[in-house]
Chain A
Amino acid sequence: MFVCVLSCFCVRVSRPPVCQPYSHGAMNLSGPHPSYPQQYGVQPSMQQMTNQMSGMQVGSGPLTSAGPGYAPPPSSEPPISAAYSAAAPPSYTQAPHPVSGAPSQPPPPSEPAAPQPYYDGPPPSQQQPFPSSAPPPSQPFPSSSPYSGPPPSSQPRAPAVSRQQSFPPGPPPPVQQTFPNSAPPPVSQALYSGPPPSSQPGPFPPTFASPAQYPAAQPPSQPGPPHFHSGPPPQCPMPPPSMSQQQANPLPPGPMQQPPQPGMQGGYPTQQNGAFGQPRGPQPGYAGPQYPGQQNYGAGPAPTPAPTQKRLDPDSIPSPQASELPAVQKFRHRIDPDAIPSPIQVIEDDRANKSSEPFTTGVKGQTPPLVTTNFQVKDQGNASPRFVRCTAYNIPCTADMAKQSQVPLAAVIKPLAMLPPDETRPYVVDHGEAGPIRCNRCKAYMCPYMQFIEGGRRFQCGFCSCVTDVPPHYFQHLDHTGKRVDCCDRPELSLGSYEFVATVDYCKNNKLPQPPSFIFFIDVSYNAVKSGMVNIVCQELKTLLDYLPRENPEADSVVRVGFVTYNKVLHFYNVKSSLAQPQMMVVSDVSDMFLPLLDGFLVNVNDSRVVIESLLDQIPEMFADTRETETVFGPVIQAGLEALKAADCAGKLFLFHSSLPIAEAPGKLKNREDKKLVGTDKEKSLIQPQSGFYSNLSKECVAQGCCVDLFLFPNQYVDVATLGVVPVSTGGSVYKYTYFQAEMDRERFLNDLRRDVQKPMGFDAVMRVRTSTGIRATDFFGSFFMSNTTDVELAGLDCDKTVTVEFRHDDKLSEDTGALMQCAVLYTSCSGQRRLRVHNMAVNCCSQLADLYRNCETDTIINFFSKYAYRSLLNTPTKTVRDTLVNQCAQILACYRKNCASPSSAGQLILPECMKLLPVYLNCVLKSDVLQPGADVSVDDRAYLRQLLSCMDVSESHVFFYPRLLPLVKLDGGSLPMAVRNSEERLSKGGVYLLETGLYLFLWVGANAQQELLSNIFGTPTFSQIDPNMTSLPELDNPFSQRLREIIDSFRSQRSRYMKLMVVKQEDKAELIFKHFLCEDKSASGGASYVDFLCHMHKEIRQLLS
């Protein structure tokens, strides 16, 4: 229950007409920016924002109230309510009291005691959700420290300092309070009344207030809010001045720091505090440097304003140092970025709270740890979050509720996910010749939700309630509780995920499948040869073929391989083991593709090793002097398809392709890249495939179980949107290496290829999601093909592929039974066995919206939203897609505000604890290259990213949208340095940072980086001597270098694609690319900064509410 209170222009409202554009009427934005989007783009907006912010006070006005508020804070709901009151910003900063939650707590802040009471409140709540974990923290509040290891520490300190100066007492306590709340995790509404809260760190506490969640808390909260609100006013006064200042300081940074804290707190009361603390933590890290840095950047002016009293508090709380003070001053003018919910804080809190204990799946409706947290999973009857993540773990009972909240109900399923070594992979269950036992009516597979009755002779289906006889061979007696005696011995009765051995009935044509085949298609046209690709592929294949996937690591792989090269004709190779030399068979009749040979095309690697090696040696030679520049593409896939048909097996095609297929052949493409269309209604035509040819082809591929992986090496437009159709529809992947250069990109390509070849996968798969009565899977996103509305057909399904499923109500659900979901994937393993993998998931149903908001996962929601939006691009103008997204999020938040948050002033932005990052993430989605392309983003890049995202899991989409930025300070010990937020102002000139985007790694080197640091990393102490073209770091014999390389390696190993390392020197040209990923900043393509967007969001919400 976080309440982020972003007080925006609260009080101010009246004042600055400016606000108008921005904010609801209330806002005081300085006028210039009329429309939202525009504003985004414009810096001024920032300023305005800040201005507004300044006007606003985050703080719950109620510092005073806070005291009393004590109670209130809870009421307010722990959540971080970020109140963006127009005035808000200031509130954060300024108001010591304002400290958001503060209002309620703030008062208490002074007194540690206060927190305790909270605790009381919270603990229970916590217990409910997480019996074990919760309690401890709460009480210990003091003890809580462990929780928020970092936070507390930081906070306390910081606060100490600052407070001492400004508000000695106030802040700290609130913090603590917050903790307790946070512990419970859930939600919260944070009330930040504009002004007051800001002033005091306390505001955060108020956040906890989320009454809804914790009954106990609630009461207080309610009262609380008002207080808060009231609070604001005081802050307001502050703002005005800030306004001016802010304007002066375009840069948010200075202020940011301070404010964020409050925001953070808002989020998770406790955690928030912690969070805040943490952020500071980092800040401290920078602190010294940062500040300066900030100043450098934008802050310049900021410092001057320096000391504002009120601000100080909040600021001070968060940011330990004096430097803050100046920040504070700046702050007034704008919203302090530090006052708004910080992803880093949330991540760190979650990590701190949830990584220690294994996550057990036995409890229904429990939200798993975030994807960024390392945790162990114990399967106790529900699928591990590694397999299934839901947007909400409490589903509204009725369609009306669901519609009202607008929270998407979806599950992100990664059926064949790889598990860490310490978790067991799903057990394989064999039910004998008759096949898996299933419900007679809905055909659900045996699972823990089947209720055995009549002494075990029959079972009732948990999905459709139909009663089915237990086959004799499966009969078992029941114990006194009605469970089967062998319940614990049978994975299908006790676990959430397991596999069945499928019988011949589950096979195509009622024939057990053949082992799959891999066929490599290498483009040997001029460009491909010249770029060095052909050579690299051939060299690599020689060794790679020993690592074909196998189930038994001891045995040889049974996967057969075949080779084809092509330009505008295809060359098949006969590599039969009995031949002395491979034979090439040219098929020039590309208009009507066929397979020229049968015997000797698909071979076992070991049998034909000599011939294959000879072939791979000769291919680069044979085509070294080629002058053929035209290529075909459709016939290549057709050839693979024919080969698999002829061999009667499933398989995977690896295409290494270089250029737009313009040779006369089916599937020939035109160059239709037309940048002028970008931003118009016709834009979608760039994303839609050029013709229906490839979608028809993919249908055939899917029917045969022919999965296509495409490696592209384009030098110009290749129409990824069209070429990607088949890979995307067949469960394959597209890899793109634009301007491929052997020396630069070799590693990335080879690592991708190795992983792609080796990774475990299933073939010829069909996935079916069954649900209990009341909801229904209605929509699917990912790389697959559907010929009807229920069966997801995947020619190939590898361990990285994710299918996102959206559910809708078709009836009422009952709180008693909850909702069940069973995802069954029938596939052929790489050894040719037919298997069924089953994942079960049970979630709670709720009749209170608050429960919904308390048990959802923003990362997953973002995953869903982005996939939904990216797909919508096919048929809808980009602008509409963006607007729809913003709208839906606004509705979600407005619904929360209306139904779950305690009443507060309209100037407050109140966010549910679980969703406090929704705005920042959503902004990242909106700013992504796909939805808001910059001038340098090619049509191909957009199509590529669009397709890429469609099968990302939550952790990938998370880092994709909100990259991880690590300051490389001290790299000792096993832990990673704490990440910092993605904003330029977080960068210190004197530091070196590692940024992970999921596709790339950037190593940003500040212009003033310490020599020692540079020596450690690059082996040279001179900034200017660093080679910006290096793709890997020198292997230096010092702990720092070793550790850094370890970190890089470990990052790479976590992603399904190899991330190329780019060294970016500050103020180098390449820095532009790097900055593009600093997603909290305004982007060059016109994307709004986080602060701006938050304000906009607030405005939207207020409009909805009014």
Chain B
Amino acid sequence: MATYQEFIQQNEDRDGVRFSWNLWPSSRLEATRLVVPVSCLFTPLKERPDLPPVQYEPVLCSRANCKAVLNPLCQVDYRAKIWACNFCFQRNPFPPSYAGISDVNQPAELMPQFSTIEYIVQRGPPNPLIFLYVVDTCLEEEDLQALKESLQMSLSLLPPNALVGLITFGRMVQVHELSCEGIAKSYVFRGTKELSSKQIQEMLGLTNPSASGPQGRPAAPQDPAVTCRFLQPVHKVDMNLTDLLGELQRDPWPVPQGKRPLRSTGIALSIAVGLLEGTFPNTGARVMMFMGGPPTQGPGMVVGDELKTPIRSWHDITKDNARHLKKATKYYDALANRAAVNGHSIDIYACALDQTGLLEMKCLSNLTGGHIAMGDSFNTSLFKQTFQRVFSKDHNGEFRMAFGGTLEVSTSRELKVSGAIGPCVSLKAKGPCISENEVGVGGTTQWKICSLSPSTTLALYFEVVNQHNAPIPQGGRGAVQFVTQYQHSNTQRRIRVTTVARNWADAQSQIQHIESSFDQEASAVIMARLGVFRAESEEGPDVLRWLDRQLIRLFMFHLRRSPFLQVFNNSPDECSYYRHHFVRQDLTQSLIMIQPILYSYSFHGPPEPVLLDSGSILPDRILLMDTFFQLVIYHGETIAQWRKAGYQEQPEYENFKHLLVAPVDDAQEILQTRFPMPRYIDTEHGGSQARFLLSKVNPSQTHNNLYSWGQETGAPILTDDVSLQVFMDHLKKLAVSSAA
């Protein structure tokens, strides 16, 4: 038998699922004792080039509150043409089209290797993809120019039949009509007045009955004649839109000395949401918002326009001094929920040197599956590449994005669903397998994921409800089925069904087995997500304490220090940004985020991973650190001197040149694939940017203990943080004492 390691890997590759425990304790009591709940990381759209979708509808269990999909774990009576649902044990006849079924002529969904299978279904007319650009015009000329170019470029990346729309905002909000000839036409809204969705639609003339004249009510939302004014197929308007973007001016309203420009971000978003809500409800759509600063007026404002009042900091928040925080957060929450209900996702591309209000706006993306990208300027490759990568395509030439997804989870009786953590919202679907014990977004078995990418990963938490006194027979298996319906980027509706099962184990008798089935990496990420989720809603220290109380291994040391939980040295916006990405990336990426990876390049051997420790920082090494958000190439003191001296230019030191190039090449490789594009930092010993590295490494040597350690290695870190060593010591002590 393969090792658990292999088993886990295999499962992940096939189903995109990683459980914290691969053997499940068979009773509630035992499960609780394990601390780390039965839970999994699930990547619904895990790329499966080897999995061709089947072109028919899935077969569902006929029980009304079950509706599980026929899967390889079901018992099938080929002769009677009956199958038994493995979740509710309902016996179902096969539909007529399965008449030819037999044990040698099985449909794909019954084959074990198709524990994950994808169906293409025909439901309603295909919906084109919709991209609605919401563009801040309160930018510096240079920034605006760069942004305009990026946007123009993006038009060429969109499929020709995709619908595009443009909303610009500054002091006012303008919704541009794209269909008009001659005069460029836009609808203008004042940036300070909150409007209901209905009002917005009325004002945009989307519900005008008189316009449709006597032919009854053709003003149905999908009526292209009505909607086309603002959302047009790319192939029809790309010239128009390119010109329009080219003519975009900076917001013309004068900004007095000592003031911020007035940005009506809140209204702009509400109009975008309202527009889509009215025209394309329940259709996948992407609102892409580009902003160059915080909202400064109207609902959703994050900071006033007085420059002398700085934007809120953690300090202000703790002191309850952030005036607009609650109101703005509430406002964006409501917007996010509206968008999510209609399956529209919202991306935020924020490029500014200061904070832009991501803290308040994060839920826009978090709830709708949108992206958040954060940079200093639109005129940086960071933004340009990231933005471009949104439109990256898979090997079939199709976008790596999907829309309007819903995830439904079914479990066998002994298991119930506690909740999910990820870029999703609850659909509030009632069902038999909902746990009363809510973790994350709970109380439902269905979640809406407005936008999905192949890496989008949810953490799902389960509760074992089997009572201690009702043991499960040996060899019993618990099953979980994930049904993901979504709109593929080629406008098809698809359903992906993943059904997995794990053995039950009696914790008393088989504790070792259970222990060995523990997936440390998955558990770390799952617990970290839980921590982040709580951090969002609770005070930082409380979460740390909670985390400390849970038993966690190594990763937790770094997690404690990570920006996900530790707000020190990070602005509220940055935290929101980091957390946003943390709760959606897959396991590997999440691990990198928790514990950055450090590679060492030296003449002493091939590149090797080294400990994330100050001890690893040596003069004759080049270090490459990947924190997911940053890629740092750090040249040790000696290397830096050599480089300065220009040895790499001399033919006799070609090997040095190679050494210098090696980490850069590796970094490029990472940069090519990573989304969002990490910040790329090339620094050296003593360089100011070296702080990115120094802040991450385990401070095993600090100015405090510098002399008690050997002098020969490492670089001291100026910090009062405890080192891993100290942390472990404490942890051990605590473990013992608490056990006592």
Given contacts A569-B203, A597-B252, A600-B252, contact A583 B187 (CB under 8 A): no
A589 contacts B193, CB within 8 Å?
yes
Q: What residues of A have a CB within 8 angstroms of the CB of B190 in the complex?
A: 589, 592, 594
Of A592, A597, A618, A621, which is in contact with the most chain B CB atoms at under 10 Å from its CB? Answer: A597
B252: contacting residue among A569, A599, A627, CB under 8 A: A599
Shortest B188–chain A CB gap in Å is: 3
Are A627 and B213 in touch, CB under 8 angstroms? Answer: yes
Q: Are B185 and A596 in contact (CB under 8 A)?
A: no
Nearest-Cβ distance from residue A587 to partner chain B, whole angstroms: 5
B183 near A598 with CB under 8 A, answer: no
Q: Any chain B CB within 8 A of the CB of A1093? A: no
The reply to whether A585 and B188 form a contact with Cβ atoms under 8 Å apart is: yes
**Contacts of B100 on A, CB cut-off 8 Å?**
none
B202 within 8 A of A: yes
The answer to whether A589 and B203 touch (CB under 8 A), given A579-B247, A627-B211, is yes
B554 at the interface (CB under 8 A from A): no
Interface membership of chain B positions 710-738, coded 1 if the CB is closer than 8 angstroms to chain A and 0 otherwise:
00000000000000000000000000000
- Contact of A588 with B183 in the complex, beta carbons under 8 Å: no
Answer yes or no: B135 CB below 8 A from chain A CBs.
no
When distances are taken between beta carbons in the complex, the residues of chain B under 8 Å from A381 are none
> Which residues in B have their C-beta under 8 angstroms from that of A587?
187-189
A623 CB to nearest B CB, Å: 11
Cross-chain contact A583 with B210 (CB below 8 angstroms): no
B186 within 8 A of A: yes
A628 to B249, CA, bound (A): 31
Contact B205 A583 (CB under 8 A): no
Please state if B188 and A572 are interface contacts (CB–CB under 8 Å): yes
Rounded to whole angstroms, the CA-CA distance of A599 and B205 in the bound complex is 26
Query: Digit string of A584-617 for contact with B (CB within 8 Å is 1, else 0)?
Result: 1111110010101111100000000000000100
A622 to B183, CA, bound (A): 9
In the complex, the answer to whether B210 meets A592 with C-beta atoms within 8 Å is no
Contact pick for B186, options A586, A592, A622, CB 8 Å:
A586
Contacts of A598 in B (CB 8 A): 252-254
A594/B187 in contact, CB under 8 A: no
* Bound Cα distance from A413 to B430, whole angstroms: 82
A584 touches B183 (CB 8 A): yes
The answer to whether A628 and B195 touch (CB under 8 A), given A588-B202, A596-B188, is: no
B429 beta carbon closer than 8 Å to chain A: no
Q: Do B174 and A596 touch across chains, with their CB atoms under 8 A apart?
A: yes
Shortest CB distance A6–B (Å): 64
Known: A587-B187, A589-B193. A596 touches B172 (CB 8 A): yes
Residue numbers in B under 8 Å from A622 (CB-CB): 182-183
Given A572-B188, A588-B205, A627-B210, A581-B252 contact (CB < 8 Å): no
Residue of B nearest to A621 (CB): B182
In whole angstroms, what is the CA distance A585 to B185 when docked? 6
Q: A583-B183, A600-B252 are in contact. Are A588 and B210 (CB under 8 A)?
A: no
The 8 Å CB contact of B187, one of A573, A588, A592, A629, is A588
What residues of chain A lie closer than 8 Å to B183, measured between beta carbons? 573, 581-584, 615, 618, 622
Near A by CB (< 8 A), chain B positions 177-199 give: 177, 182-190, 193, 195
Instruction: Decide if B23 is an interface residue (CB 8 Å cutoff).
Output: no
In the complex, the answer to whether B186 meets A585 with C-beta atoms within 8 Å is: yes
Instruction: Confirm or deny: B204 has a beta carbon within 8 angstroms of a beta carbon on chain A.
Output: yes
Task: Give bound CA distance, A1078 to B186, whole Å.
Answer: 55
B193 and A584 contact, CB distance less than 8 A: no
- Interface contact B172-A594, CB-CB below 8 Å: yes
Most central of B177, B190, B213 by chain A CB within 10 Å: B190
Contact between chains at A584 and B172 (CB < 8 Å): no
Question: Chain B's interface: helix, strand, loop or mixed, by majority?
Answer: mixed
- Report the minimum CB–CB distance from B408 to chain A (whole Å): 41
Q: Mark B203-230, 1 if CB is under 8 A from A, else 0.
A: 1110000110100000000000000000
- Of B182, B193, B202, B252, which one neighbours A618 at CB under 8 angstroms? B182
Expressed in whole angstroms, the minimum distance between the Cβ of B214 and any Cβ of chain A is 11
In the complex, which residue of chain B has the Cβ closest to the Cβ of A622? B183
CB closest residue in chain B, given A598: B252
Give chain B residues whose Cβ lies under 8 Å from the Cβ of A589: 189-190, 193, 195, 203
Q: A628 touching B182 by the CB < 8 A rule? A: no
Q: Please, which residue of chain A has its CB at the minimum distance from the CB of B203?
A: A588
A601 closest partner in B (C-beta)? B252
* Cβ-defined partner of A586 (8 Å) among B187, B193, B211, B252: B187
Q: Which residue from chain A places its CB closest to the CB of B171 in the assembled complex? A: A598
Q: List the A side residues contacting B189 at CB < 8 Å.
A: 587-589
Contacts of B254 in A (CB 8 A): 598
Q: Which residues of A contact B187 (CB under 8 A)?
A: 585-588
A731 to chain B, nearest CB (A): 30
Interfacial chain B residues near A596, Cβ < 8 Å:
172, 174, 188
Please report which residues of chain B, range 229-269, place their CB below 8 angstroms from some CB of chain A when the two chains form the complex: 247, 249, 252-254
Interface centre among B177, B195, B203, B211 (most CB of A within 10 A): B203
Closest to A596 in B: B188
Chain A residue, CB-CB nearest to B211: A627
Per-residue interface assignment for chain A, residues 556 to 595, with 1 indicating a CB less than 8 Å from any chain B CB and 0 otherwise: 0000000000000101110000010111111111001010
Cα-based distance from A214 to B422 in the complex (angstroms)? 109
- Structural contact, B252 and A584, CB atoms closer than 8 A: no
Contacts of B204 in A (CB 8 A): 588
- Verify B203–A584 contact, CB threshold 8 A: no
Bound-complex Cα distance A569 to B202 (A): 11
**Which A904-930 residues have C-beta < 8 A from chain B?**
none
Of all chain B residues, the one with the shortest Cβ separation from A646 is B253
Residues 377-404 of A, flagged 1 when their CB comes within 8 A of B and 0 if not, give: 0000000000000000000000000000
Residue of A569, A573, A592, A628 near B193 (CB, 8 A) is A592
**In the complex, A621→B188 CA distance in Å?**
22
Closest-CB distance, A911 to chain B (whole angstroms): 63
Q: Kindly state the separation between the CA atoms of A588 and B271 in the bound complex, as whole angstroms.
A: 13
With the chains together, A618 CA to B181 CA distance in Å?
A: 10
Residues of B with C-beta under 8 A to A592? 190, 193
**Contact residue among A579, A584, A588 (Cβ-Cβ distance under 8 Å from B185):** A584
Chain A residues whose C-beta falls within 8 Å of the C-beta of B184 in the assembled complex: 581, 583-584
Most buried by B among A569, A586, A598: A586
CA distance A596 to B195 in the complex (A): 17
- Minimum CB distance partner of B185 in chain A: A584
A813 to B702, CA, bound (A): 102
Residues of A within 8 A of B253 (CB): 598
* Distance from A106 Cβ to chain B, minimum over Cβ atoms (Å): 79
Q: Which residues of B contact A597 (CB under 8 A)?
A: 172, 188, 252
Please, which residue of chain A has its CB at the minimum distance from the CB of B253? Answer: A598
Residues in A whose Cβ lies below 8 Å from that of B203: 569, 588-589
Q: How far is the CA of A621 from the CA of B183 in the complex (A)?
A: 11
Please indicate the chain A residues that have their CB under 8 angstroms from the CB of B186 in the complex. 583-586
In the complex, what distance in Å separates the CA atom of A589 from the CA atom of B187?
Answer: 10
User: In the assembled complex, which residues on chain A have CB atoms less than 8 Å from the CB atom of B210?
Assistant: 627-629
A647 to B723, CA, bound (A): 63
Shortest CB–CB separation between residue B263 and chain A, in angstroms? Answer: 16
Task: List A contacts of B182 (CB < 8 A).
Answer: 581, 618, 621-622
How many Å lie between the Cα of A84 and that of B442 in the bound state? Answer: 104
Residue of A nearest to B172 (CB): A596
A297 to B133 alpha-carbon distance, docked (Å): 80
Mark A995-1007 against chain B: 1 for CB-CB distance below 8 A, else 0: 0000000000000
Query: Using Cβ atoms and an 8 Å threshold, which residues of chain B touch A583?
Result: 183-186, 247
State A586–B186 Cα separation when bound (angstroms). 6
Q: Which residues of B contact A627 (CB under 8 A)?
A: 210-211, 213
Tell me which residues across on chain A come within 8 A of B195, comparing CB atoms. Answer: 589
Knowing that A585-B174, A596-B174 are A-B contacts, what are 6 other residue pairs whose CB atoms are under 8 Å apart, sorted by A's residue number? Answer: A571-B185, A585-B186, A588-B189, A592-B193, A594-B190, A598-B253
Lowest 6 A-B CB distances belong to which pairs? A588-B203, A596-B188, A599-B252, A584-B185, A586-B187, A583-B184
**19 A–B contacts, CB within 8 A, in A order:** A571-B185, A572-B188, A584-B185, A585-B174, A585-B185, A585-B186, A585-B188, A586-B177, A586-B186, A586-B187, A587-B188, A588-B187, A588-B203, A592-B193, A594-B190, A598-B254, A600-B252, A615-B183, A621-B182
